[in-house]
Amino acid sequence: MKRNRLQWYKLYLPLLILFLFSCEKKKVTVIVEDTQPPIVAFNWLGVQNAPAKITFNNLTSKADSFRWNFGNGVTSTASQPPIVSYSNAGTYEVSLTATYHGKSAFIKKNIVIVTGSEQPVARFSSVFKDNKSYPPTTVVLTNESVNSDFFEWQINGKTVNSTYDRGTEQMVCGTPGKYVVKLWAMKGNKRSAVFEEIITVEANPNPIASFIPDGWITTRKVGEEVVFFNTSKNSDSWEWTFGDNGPKASTDEHAFVKFTAPGTYTVKLTAKKGNLPPGFYQVNMKIIP
C-alpha cells in the first residue's frame, strides 16, 4: 500500500505543482499609448450673406482639446463651438488647432461672407498634397464659392473643367514654374468675377521654413498664449527658438508658448529634412505689459 502511494506521489506531484504555479500567475496587460497627432477637419453650414450666422462642425478625430479662431476677433476652446456671427461682408480666415496628448495639428479654411445679394462669388483655396511643393506634385484646389451652382476652372489659360461639382480639383504639376489658376462661379444667368491665384511649384526640394502667429498679430501681452502655425514646405522636423529670455526651445511642429516679460523677441524656425540644407524663417514679436 505504501509502495502504491509513493508511486502516486511521484506521478502526480509534479502536475500538482505546475497547476498551483499556473494559478499564481498574474495576467499582465501592456498599454501602448497612441501619441500620434490628431487628424484635424471641420466644415461649416449657413447662408453666407451678411449679416451671416455660421455653424461650424468639428470633424476632428482623436483629440482632447481645441482652439478655434474665427477670423472676426472671436475664439473658442469648445469642441463644438456656438453659432458664429459675421456682421460685415468680407473674407475671414478660420483656423482650428487640435491637441492630443501634447501633440498638435491644425487646419485652415477660408470662409467668404458676401453682401445680401444673390450675386455668385468665386473663391478657392489650394494646398500641396503631402506637403510637397516640387515636381512631380499634386495641388488640391478646394472650391469655396458662394451663391453658385456651376463652375469653370482654367489653368494657364486653358479650361480644364466645367462642372456642377462644388468639391475639389487636383492639379498635377510635372515641371517647376508658376501655374495661373482661375475660377468662375455661375448661378442661372449670373456670372461671378474671376478668382485667380498663382501657384508656384519649386524647383529646389530643400526645406522652406515659414510660419504665422495665431491671428497674424505680432504684438501680444505678457502671459497670453501665442500659437505659431508651422507652414513650412518640404520638411519633416523643426526647431523653434524664441530669443533671449524667451520661452524654451521646442521641436514640435506647431509652437504653443507664453512670454513672461515685455520686450521684443526674435522667433526663429529651422525646417529640416534628411541631409538637405535646412531652411530658416524668423519674425520679431513685441510683447507688451
| Residue-range domains of the chain with CATH | 34-115 (2.60.40.10), 118-203 (2.60.40.10), 211-288 (2.60.40.10)
Number of CB atoms found within 10 A of residue 44's CB:
14
**Confidence (pLDDT) at 73:** 86
For the residues 224-230, what does the mean pLDDT come to? 91
Distance, CA of 23 to chain centre: 51
For the residues 226-236, what does the mean pLDDT come to? 90
Note the helical H segments in the chain: 2-24
* CA–CA distance, 211 with 94 (Å, rounded to integer): 16
First CA to last CA distance, the chain: 97
pLDDT per position as a tens digit, 254-273? 999 999 999 999 999 999 99
Round the average pLDDT of the chain to a whole number and report it: 85
pLDDT per position as a tens digit, 139-180? 999 998 988 999 999 999 999 999 998 889 999 999 999 999
pTM of the model: 0.59
Grid cell in block for residue 60: 476632428
CB of 222 closer than 8 Å to CB of 256: no
Grid cell in block for residue 193: 468675377
C-alpha dihedral sign at 17, 18, 22, 25: positive
Distance, CA of 125 to chain centre: 14
Q: Which residue has the cell 507688451?
A: 288
**Confidence (pLDDT) at 25:** 46
* CA–CA distance, 125 with 106 (Å, rounded to integer): 16
* CA–CA distance, 98 with 38 (Å, rounded to integer): 7
Q: Which residue has the higher pLDDT, 186 or 43?
A: 186
pLDDT per position as a tens digit, 71-128? 888 999 999 999 999 988 888 888 898 888 877 777 777 777 766 677 898 989 898 9
**Confidence (pLDDT) at 21:** 45
* CA distances to 6, 54, 58, 67, 136 from 83, in Å: 84, 6, 12, 15, 41
Q: With 50 as the cut, is the pLDDT of residue 24 above it?
A: no
